[in-house]
Chains A and B, each alone.
Chain A
Amino acid sequence: MSQIEGTVDNPKRALREQDRSMPDKENRAIFAVNAQRRKLKEQVFYYLIFLATLSALFVLVYLIGSIFSDGWPYLNWDFLTNFPSRFPAKAGFKSAIYGTAWLGCLTLFFSVLFGVGSAVYLQELSAKGRLSSGIELSIATLAGVPSIIYGMLGLGIFVRFLALGRSVLAGALTLSLLILPVIIIASREALKSVPDSIRMGAFALGATRWQTVRDHVLPAAIPGIATGVILAMARSIGEAAPLILLGALTYIAFVPESVFDSFTAMPIQIFNWASRPQAQFHDLAAAGIIVLLGFLLICNSAAIILRSRWRAK
């Protein structure tokens, strides 16, 4: 009641305060009921989410299981070292493996060069303004464009306009374009998370922006950038659609010797085998998928090991 005494000089306010204190008890009761209901809700959600995870896991295990049971018998040295053939027994994956290796190396080179370069420019060097926020928005949008559109772009620009033909170079440039937005976004986030105190320390020594970025900010951001690059590369290695649109060949009995040679790639070869009527080719496709998965696994583990080494340093 002392509360009301203190405000008698303002009776209206005293009343209001009283009003407010009245429903307090009811509120408390409601809270109590709420707590029980919330507990129930939480449990329901917990089981729903658990079920969702379980079913996703089940589908994954089933897929991998069926792929292994189909493909495993075909997975031998001949499969890895033979060129594709009309006869399933003689058909191999060699040109696809080489093609993907070529594509992977070139794509890594171009996308890191241009992706990390753009990220550094946008995040560290350029003036922040309307232009840069416009660019930011378009990059975020580009990250969501379907890969087949990039295939059309690559066909128009690299294959036809720059006359690179259906070469492994044109394919790699197209894939680089495809993953560039993801790499730029991830690299910018990594740069953003480097504390400003490091930059200020460097600037206070008379460093230019570029010297500061090169020697302190970029090295500190490498682990984050590497994560983005790994994820993006994994995506590019599995892409078939843009390469098919580009006109990559599906039947190739040689390996590329230069960046201007034509090529095939693992996902294309897999797609080709899977779309044939004979069941044996379907099993070959399964074997190809196993190789592709193994390839991704090796690349990712290597990258993760490199990254943790860097971090430890």
Chain B
Amino acid sequence: MVNSHSSSILETRNLNIYYGEKKVIRNVSLKVPKRTVTAMIGPSGCGKSTLLRTFNRMNDFIDIFRFEGEVLFEGTDIYRSKTDVTEFRRRVGMVFQKPNPFTSSIAKNITWGPQINGYRGDLNELVESSLRKAALWDEVKDKLNDSGLALSGGQQQRLCIARAIAMDPEVILMDEPCSALDPQSTLAIEDLIHELKQNYTIVIVTHNMQQAARVSEFTAFLYNGDLIEFDETSKIFSHPAEKLTRDYIVGRFG
């Protein structure tokens, strides 16, 4: 298991999650190390998205959501802290499975988040730097005033990543960010993830084993709500400690 105690940025302690009566996360304790890419893998319905959504409290919008345990961000319990939840969401960005740009212009997609959070800097500069970091600038620099919806799916997803980056978060959560994309856009986003991990902590949910192996340093394997194994990606993919993990990775199920 990972023992880099001091450098973990996100942590769950004995986390149980219920939707109504149904328990979907069972006693998960996990530490996400800072400035790394952590992949979450596991069969469909095992609770990857649910776990990911606790890190920025997006589960709050599901009425029947209930939990026990602790979720820590930089050592603060985000569900019990007095700090406003919007403050945590500002520092923990999210990219969704389906690209969901705002209907407004490309530039406005980038600037909206910082603006409502009181950003004082140069907005044009912010648009350019965010789009550059998301490897989208060259494709859209001449149409910054077009609607975000006028882009291709892969471009929309990179716009959503740029939108998250513009907030200068500490963590970026990605829920299957490439599942709606073609191989080329997928590669572009994987390259992007490599770039981003210099400055950000990334947690990525993926169904694609190769992708997990390519982009991540750490991998968590979830099965039916249990965290079966969490370790360095190289270890998980070469010498997993659990038979279940090995079976899943070689594609025996899931």
Partners in one complex: yes
Map CB proximity to A onto B156-170 as digits: 1 under 8 Å, 0 otherwise: 000010011001000
Q: Are A220 and B103 in contact (CB under 8 A)?
A: yes
Kindly supply a per-residue 1/0 record for chain A positions 205-238, scoring 1 wherever the CB is within 8 Å of any chain B CB and 0 otherwise: 1111001000110011000000000000000000
Contact with A197, one of B86, B100, B104 (Cβ below 8 angstroms) = B100
Chain A: interface residue count, which band? Answer: 10 to 19
A201 to B112, CA, bound (A): 11
Query: Shortest CB–CB separation between residue B102 and chain A, in angstroms?
Result: 6
The digit string for B69-96, where 1 denotes a CB below 8 A from any CB of A, is 0000000000000000011011001101
A202 at the interface (CB under 8 A from B): yes
Mark B186-211 against chain A: 1 for CB-CB distance below 8 A, else 0.
Answer: 00000000000000000000000000
The answer to the question of A22 belonging to the interface, with a C-beta cut-off of 8 Å to chain B, is: no
Residues on A with beta carbons closer than 8 Å to the beta carbon of B112: 202, 205, 215
Q: Answer whether residue B56 sits at the interface, using C-beta atoms and an 8 A cutoff.
A: yes
CB distance from A20 to the nearest CB of B (A): 35
- B61 in contact (CB, < 8 A): yes
A206 touches which one: B86, B101, B103, B160 (CB < 8 A)?
B86
Chain A residue numbers with a CB within 8 Å of B86 are: 206-208
Taken residue by residue from 172 to 205, chain A's Cβ proximity to chain B (1 for < 8 Å, 0 otherwise) reads as 0000000000000000000000010111111111
Closest Cβ of chain A: how far from B56's Cβ, in Å? 6
Once A206-B113, A207-B113, A215-B112 are accepted as A-B contacts, the answer to whether A201 and B96 lie under 8 Å apart by CB is: yes
Q: Which residue of A lies closest to B60 (CB)?
A: A203
Any B CB within 8 A of the CB of A309: no
Report which residue of A200, A205, A207, A220 has the largest number of chain B beta carbons within 10 angstroms of its beta carbon: A205
A160 to chain B, nearest CB (A): 45
Q: A197-B100, A220-B103 are in contact. Are A205 and B93 (CB under 8 A)?
A: yes
Interface of chain A: mostly helix, strand, loop or mixed: helix
Chain A residues contacting B61 (CB-CB under 8 Å) are 199-200, 203
Within 8 A of B (CB), among A37-90: none
Whether A206 touches B102, Cβ cut-off 8 Å, given contacts A200-B96, A201-B96, A201-B160, is no
Q: Establish whether residues A201 and B102, one from each chain, have CB atoms under 8 Å apart when the complex forms.
A: yes
* B residues 31-60 touching A (CB-CB < 8 Å): 56, 58
**Is the C-beta of B63 less than 8 angstroms from some C-beta in chain A?**
yes
The bracket for how many chain B residues form the interface is 20 to 34
User: Considering residues B89, B104, B116, B164, which has the most beta carbons from chain A within 10 angstroms of its beta carbon?
Assistant: B116
B98 interfacial by beta-carbon distance below 8 Å:
yes
- Determine if B124 is an interface residue (Cβ-Cβ < 8 Å): no
The answer to whether the Cβ of B117 comes within 8 Å of any Cβ in the partner chain is yes
CA distance A162 to B220 in the complex (A): 67
Q: How far is the CA of A122 from the CA of B63 in the complex (A)?
A: 16
Chain B residues near A211 (CB-CB < 8 A): 116
Evaluate contact between B167 and A206: CB separation under 8 angstroms: yes
Contact with B along A129-168 (1 / 0, CB 8 A): 0000000000000000000000000000000000000000
In the A-B complex, the 7 residue pairs with the smallest Cβ-Cβ separation, listed nearest first, are: A206-B90, A205-B113, A197-B100, A204-B94, A206-B89, A206-B86, A201-B100
Q: A201-B160, A202-B102 are in contact. List 13 more A-B contacts (CB 8 A).
A: A200-B58, A201-B100, A201-B102, A202-B112, A203-B61, A205-B116, A206-B87, A206-B117, A207-B113, A215-B116, A216-B102, A216-B103, A216-B104
Question: What residues of chain A have their CB less than 8 Å away from a CB belonging to chain B?
Answer: 128, 195, 197-208, 211, 215-216, 219-220
B binding-site residues for A, Cβ under 8 Å: 56, 58, 61, 63, 86-87, 89-90, 93-94, 96, 98, 100-104, 112-113, 116-117, 160, 163-164, 167
